[in-house]
Amino acid sequence: MVRIYALLAWAWTRAAAQYPLSFAVMTAAGFVTSGLDAAVIWVIFANTRSLAGFGVAEVMFLYGASSLAFTIADLLFGNVDRISRHIRSGTLDVFLIRPVSPFVQVAVDQFVPHRVGRVVQGAVMLGLALSRLGVPPGRAWMIPVMVASGIVIFAALFALSGAVQFLLTGAPEVANAFTYGGAQLTQYPLNVYGADLVRGVTYVLPLAFVNWQPGLYVLGREDPLGLPPLLRFLSPAAALALAGAAALAWRAGIRRYRSTGS
């Protein structure tokens, strides 16, 4: 499946590269527009020294880790939460009769390679933050683990978003609240929100495991809400659990699909 995905993604990339100027402009535009979110951090810290007890480098770290994980997941799987257009038009039928996973086909359909600009922006922000923080080597191992877990969590949310659209074909915005909304939520220290919301994104929808809980370990910070220290090491487990739930939901959605009747 990975080989098939790579071949299809490469085909779309070659098609986009036929217009090099457009490709370069769109990639640069993605870098700049996603950088506007980062600019908000600088605006905030132009008026205050800390945000919920976190300094500018720490907030940059949390933002960079979340942004990098989300933009990679969006690049690879973001098209899944636009499946409603295939359901309404009946073009999903074509994906179902091919000897390839419908999930892979939907994810790579109209692959958008210029989204890599947003990935680069997230990586730059994370790199800048780490250069200012000086994370001890004994805790640095968590950084690739949290980014990888974050990618899986966001990919699972895209899959869940797609599965929901088998029921709510006319309301993809409802699903987007959990994907793009979740990405926005994790860009800042979670303790700026209410305690109930933080517990909800820890024990129900595990967005806290994208960057917050493992990030506290990397930064050597205590949990402001006093949640168990063990949670800092559970990002891989949370990612696998959500991925399993997403796989079951996706399978149920595919089984429910009855085409358009045309």
pLDDT of residue 260: 64
CA–CA separation, 110 and 11 (whole Å): 10
Q: What angle do CA 64, 55, 75 make, to 5 degrees?
A: 10
pLDDT in tens, the chain (262 residues): 788 888 888 888 888 778 888 878 888 877 777 778 788 888 888 888 888 889 999 999 999 999 999 999 999 998 888 888 888 877 888 888 888 888 988 888 888 888 888 899 999 999 999 999 989 989 999 999 999 999 999 999 999 988 888 877 666 666 677 788 888 889 899 999 988 999 999 999 999 999 999 999 999 999 988 899 999 999 999 999 999 999 999 999 888 887 765 5
pLDDT for 139: 93
Q: Which residues pair with 54 in a beta bridge?
A: 51
pTM of the model: 0.92
Report how far residue 243's alpha carbon sits from residue 30's, in angstroms, rounded to the nearest whole number.
Answer: 28
CA distance 67 to 19: 28
Residue with tokens 């000086």: 134
Report helix angle 20-45 to 116-133, nearest 10.
40
